[in-house]
C-alpha cells in the first residue's frame, strides 16, 4: 500500500534523477532476530522480531517498536518507509525506521514483557543508537517499554549520555513534556487549520462538529479529549472490543473511567453499543481512524458518511478507498501529515536529551503547532499547484479517469519525495 502511494507521487514529479526512485524505494537495512525467553511458568518460548531502517539520508532512523501477533516484515518495512516520508514532509532530520516483536502483549505479564524488551534490544545491539536508529513507542508499547529500552542500551554502553537512544520516555528519564499527547495534538492542529481554509463544504471550524473516533488507545483517547476541548461533539468511540454511540455526545470522563474499570468502552451507560464496522459508517463531520491500518477499504468506503477523514493511525485508508472517497467528495488528511505530531515531538525530545535540557510544555506545543501548520499549508499549496498543472495539460481528455485521485496524500508525498531526492543527489552516491 505504501509503495502504491509512492508510485502515485512519482507520476507528478518531473525532476527526480533517473534510477534514484529505486534508491528511495527500498529499505537500507533489515534485521530479523529470534530469541528465547523463560516465561513465568518456567517454560521457554522463542520470540521473533525485526527492525527495518528504510532510509538515513536526512539523519538517524526513527520509528516505533510494536508488539502484536500480526507483526511481519512486510508490514514493518512499509511502516518504516512511511516514517521516511513523514519525517521529510515535516522537516525533521530523521530517516524512517520501524520494528516489532510477534507476541500478544495482552497475554503476557509485565515481567515477561520486560524480558522480551531487554532481549530484543540486546539482539539489535549497536544497530540502534542516538545517531544511528532511535526507537519510540508504537502499538502496545509505551513509556515503560521505552524505559526498558533505554536502561538496556545504557547498561550495554556505560559512561555515555545515552538518553537520546530512545524517545517517548517518562519525564524523569528525559522524556519531553507533551510527548504523550503529541500525535493527537498535531492531528487536531492539522485538522483545525485545514478546515479553516474553507475547502470542506459545511465545515469551517471544530466548534459544533460531530466527530467519530475509532480506537481508544493513546492517540484515539487523547484526540477525543482535544477535539472536545475545541468545541467538537464526540458522538462515537470504539476500542478493540466494539464501539459506543450517542448522538447527543459522549461523556468522555465517564468513558475513560468506565474503560479503566471494565477494560472496554462497550456497555457505557447512556450509549448504544455498535460494531467497529458500523462506527466507521456513522454520519458525522469528521472521522478519525486511530486504530489499525486498512480499516477503510474498497468494500466499505462507499458507506463512509463523513465530510473529512483524518488519518490518526498509519495507513487506515487503502488506495482503492482513496479513489472512492474522492469520488464522493470526502477529503482525507493523510497519515504522513495528520499523525506527524508524534515524531515531531520525538525530535524535540531527542534535541533536549542531547542538550541535557528540558523545555517547558508551552514551548513544545508552540513549536509543534508551528511545524504542523507549516506542513499543512505546504501540502494544500502543492495540491492546488498540481490541480492547476493537471488542468492545463494539453490533450488530456475531459472524461478521463485515473485509477487514483490527485489528493492531499499525493501532494504531501510529492513534497517528501522531492526533498529526499534532492538531498540524496546533493550527498551523492558512495563510493
Would you name the residues annotated as active-site residues?
98
- Report whether 365 contacts 179 (CB < 8 A): no
Q: Spell out the residues 6+ positions from residue 311 whose beta carbon is closer than 8 angstroms to its own.
A: 289, 317, 332, 333, 334, 335, 338, 339
- Report whether 57 contacts 424 (CB < 8 A): yes
Alpha carbon distance 205, 194 (integer Å): 9
Alpha carbon distance 70, 67 (integer Å): 9
Residue in the block written with cell 540524496: 424
Tell me whether strands 44-53 and 95-102 are parallel, antiparallel or unpaired: antiparallel
- At 29, is the secondary structure helix, strand, or coil? strand
Conformational region of residue 168, where left means phi above 0, alpha means psi within -120 to 50, and beta covers everything else: left
- Report whether 348 contacts 165 (CB < 8 A): no
Q: Spell out the residues 6+ positions from residue 132 whose beta carbon is closer than 8 angstroms to its own.
A: 60, 61, 126
Sheet harboring 210-214: ordered strands across?
272-274, 242-245, 233-239, 210-214, 286-289, 308-310, 331-333
Alpha carbon distance 350, 430 (integer Å): 28
Three cell numbers at 329? 467528495
Q: How is 95-135 classified by DSSP, letter by letter?
A: EEEEEEEE--GGGS-HHHHHHHHHHHHHHHGGGSBTTTEEE
- Report whether 301 contacts 320 (CB < 8 A): yes
Alpha carbon distance 350, 300 (integer Å): 40
CA 403 to mean position of chain CA atoms: 25
Alpha carbon distance 123, 100 (integer Å): 13
Residue in the block written with cell 518495512: 77
Q: Spell out the residues 6+ positions from residue 46 whose beta carbon is closer than 8 angstroms to its own.
A: 34, 35, 36, 37
Amino acid at each position: 500500500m505504501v509503495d502504491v502511494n509512492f508510485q502515485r507521487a512519482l507520476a507528478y514529479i518531473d525532476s527526480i534523477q533517473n534510477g534514484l526512485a529505486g534508491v528511495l524505494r527500498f529499505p537500507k537495512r533489515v534485521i530479523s532476530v529470534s530469541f528465547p525467553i523463560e516465561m513465568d511458568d518456567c517454560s521457554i518460548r522463542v520470540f521473533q522480531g525485526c527492525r527495518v531502517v528504510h532510509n538515513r539520508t536526512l539523519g538517524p532512523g526513527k520509528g516505533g517498536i510494536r508488539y502484536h501477533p500480526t507483526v511481519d516484515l512486510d508490514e514493518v518495512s512499509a511502516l518504516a518507509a512511511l516514517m521516511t516520508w513523514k519525517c521529510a514532509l515535516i522537516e525533521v532530520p530523521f530517516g524512517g525506521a520501524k520494528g516489532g516483536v510477534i507476541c500478544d502483549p495482552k497475554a503476557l505479564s509485565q515481567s515477561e514483557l520486560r524480558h522480551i524488551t531487554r532481549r530484543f534490544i540486546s539482539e539489535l545491539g549497536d544497530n540502534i543508537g542516538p545517531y544511528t536508529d532511535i526507537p519510540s513507542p508504537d502499538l502496545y508499547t509505551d513509556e515503560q517499554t521505552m524505559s526498558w529500552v533505554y536502561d538496556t542500551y545504557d547498561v550495554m554502553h556505560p559512561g555515555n549520555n545515552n538518553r537520546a537512544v530512545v524517545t517517548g520516555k517518562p519525564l524523569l528519564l528525559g522524556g519531553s513534556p507533551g510527548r504523550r499527547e503529541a500525535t493527537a495534538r498535531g492531528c487536531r492542529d492539522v485538522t483545525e487549520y485545514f478546515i479553516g481554509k474553507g475547502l470542506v463544504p459545511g465545515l469551517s471550524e471544530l466548534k459544533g462538529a460531530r466527530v467519530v473516533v475509532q480506537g481508544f488507545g493513546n492517540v484515539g483517547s487523547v484526540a477525543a479529549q482535544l477535539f472536545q476541548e475545541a468545541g467538537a461533539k464526540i458522538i462515537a468511540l470504539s476500542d478493540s472490543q466494539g464501539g459506543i454511540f450517542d448522538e447527543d455526545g459522549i461523556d468522555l470522563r465517564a468513558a475513560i473511567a468506565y474503560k479503566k474499570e471494565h477494560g472496554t468502552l462497550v456497555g457505557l451507560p447512556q450509549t448504544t453499543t455498535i460494531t467497529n464496522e458500523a462506527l466507521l459508517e456513522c454520519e458525522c463531520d469528521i472521522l478519525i481512524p486511530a486504530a489499525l491500518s486498512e480499516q477503510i477499504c474498497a468494500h466499505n468506503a462507499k458507506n463512509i458518511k463523513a465530510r473529512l477523514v483524518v488519518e490518526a493511525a498509519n495507513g487506515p485508508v487503502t488506495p482503492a478507498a482513496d479513489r472512492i472517497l474522492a469520488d464522493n467528495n470526502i477529503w482525507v488528511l493523510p497519515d504522513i501529515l495528520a499523525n506527524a505530531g508524534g515524531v515531531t515531538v520525538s525530535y524535540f525530545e531527542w534535541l533536549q536529551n542531547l542538550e541535557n535540557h528540558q523545555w517547558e510544555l508551552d514551548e513544545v506545543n508552540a513549536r509543534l503547532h508551528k511545524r504542523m501548520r507549516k506542513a499543512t499549508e505546504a501540502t494544500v499549496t502543492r495540491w492546488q499547484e498540481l490541480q492547476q498543472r493537471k488542468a492545463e495539460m494539453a490533450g488530456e481528455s475531459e472524461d478521463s479517469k485515473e485509477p487514483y485521485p490527485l489528493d492531499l496524500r499525493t501532494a504531501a508525498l510529492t513534497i517528501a519525495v522531492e526533498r529526499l531526492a534532492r538531498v540524496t543527489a546533493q550527498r551523492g552516491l558512495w563510493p
